[in-house]
Amino acid sequence: MAKKKRMGKSNKTSQGLRRSSIGVRMLTPMQRLRNQQEAWLKGKRVMLVIDAAGHKAEAQTVWGLPPMLRKKVTNAESKGTE
């Protein structure tokens, strides 16, 4: 007769580091700003921290419309005046 497989050893999860926390990368403030700028250029909603107190504002109110959306607004205005 074959031996029965022991239950417990292979199913046990260690209480140390998990796989999800091994590959976490730390962003520098410049990298974070660059990521925010790229998202803003794509037309996504980006929140910026304005001061050390933690006040936040939307990037479109601080930086204005991205170039891609500026063209759409000017085209819509010119079509409406004709």
* Domains identified in the chain, total number: 1
Picking from 82, 81, 78, 32, the residue whose alpha carbon sits closest to that of residue 59 is 32
- pLDDT tens digits, residue range 13-28? 666 655 665 566 788 8
Q: Side chain identity at 57, as an amino acid letter?
A: A
36-59 mean pLDDT:
91
Domain carrying residue 38: 28-81
44-54 mean pLDDT:
90
Per-residue tokens: 69: 């959306």
24-52 mean pLDDT:
89
| Phi then psi dihedrals of residue 7, to 5 deg | -95, 145
Q: What is the pTM of this model?
A: 0.57
* pLDDT for residue 41: 93
**73 located within any domain:** yes
**14 located within any domain:** no
Mean of per-residue pLDDT scores for the chain: 78
**17 located within any domain:** no
* Alpha-carbon distances, residue 12 vs 2, 9, 20, 58 (angstroms): 24, 6, 17, 46
* pLDDT for residue 13: 61
